[in-house]
Structure 1
Amino acid sequence: MLTLTCPFCGVAAEETELAPGGEAHLKRFGPGSSDADFETYLFGRRNPRGVHFERWRHVYGCGKWFLAARDTATLQVFGTYPPQCDGPPDALIARIRAVRPGWQPPPEPLEDDSAPGVERDPAPNPTPTRDTIA
């Protein structure tokens, strides 16, 4: 079972106490944006195998939203942090790189890119195969 620690109340909550909110660090477009921009924001999401940053809400606890970094293949949680951050904290990136030495952070969104990596090939992130998981 997936267990995430809420950075606000400090409770280690199981996934039944949480509500997923999708991909983290998306660029939201304003009212003057085009239909194509809104469509990309609404439907264009990465679904990587490996390290992924997500939004979660502590529904049956403090009720606040937070961000989490986890491996989508192994469910290993690297850490959680408040959503007010522009990107993952340096300590969290260091923790991920300690476990996945070749991992690179996701590319910074371009000015006109609401879903980085959707229509271009991002740098590959190594994920251990089944035989290398201890």
Structure 2
Amino acid sequence: MRIPCPHCGERDIQEFSCLGDATRRRPDPEAGEAAFADYVYLRDNPAGRHRELWYHAGGCRAWLVVTRDTKSHAIEAVAPAREAARTLAESGS
């Protein structure tokens, strides 16, 4: 699989590290230990379109949000994580 880095161009997946789901939100500290444990350990494994957080360790060292199909690995979009977070905050999601 090749990921089109917005800073470096298209690169091999070996240059990247995947952190996981880019849509998860850290729970409020007052939500309790159980909520935080769920946040840290429980993960969905969706089939289809999914947004993931990737780190370009072998290149520009930027954090990216990659939208891809988990069945075909086809990449739909790649955006710097800061821009993706700003867009998400502005949409109220």
Higher gyration radius (CA) = 1
The letter of the residue matching 2:5 is: C
* Identity, % of aligned positions: 29
- The unaligned stretches of length 5 or more in structure 2 are none
Structure 1 segment 1-134 matched on structure 2, within 5 A: 2-7=1-6, 9-84=7-82, 85-86=84-85, 87=88, 108=93
The letter of the residue matching 1:5 is: P
User: Which one has the bigger strand percentage?
Assistant: 2
The letter of the residue matching 1:43 is: Y
Whole-Å separation in 2 of the counterparts to 1:44 and 1:63: 27
Whole-Å separation in 2 of the counterparts to 1:11 and 1:32: 42
Whole-Å separation in 2 of the counterparts to 1:56 and 1:65: 6
TM-score, length-normalised on structure 1? 0.59
TM-score, length-normalised on structure 2? 0.82
Whole-Å separation in 2 of the counterparts to 1:6 and 1:14: 10
**Cα shift at 1:29:** 2.8
**Cα shift at 1:27:** 0.7
* RMSD value, Cα: 1.5
Whole-Å separation in 1 of the counterparts to 2:71 and 2:44: 14
Whole-Å separation in 2 of the counterparts to 1:81 and 1:25: 14
How many matched pairs? 86
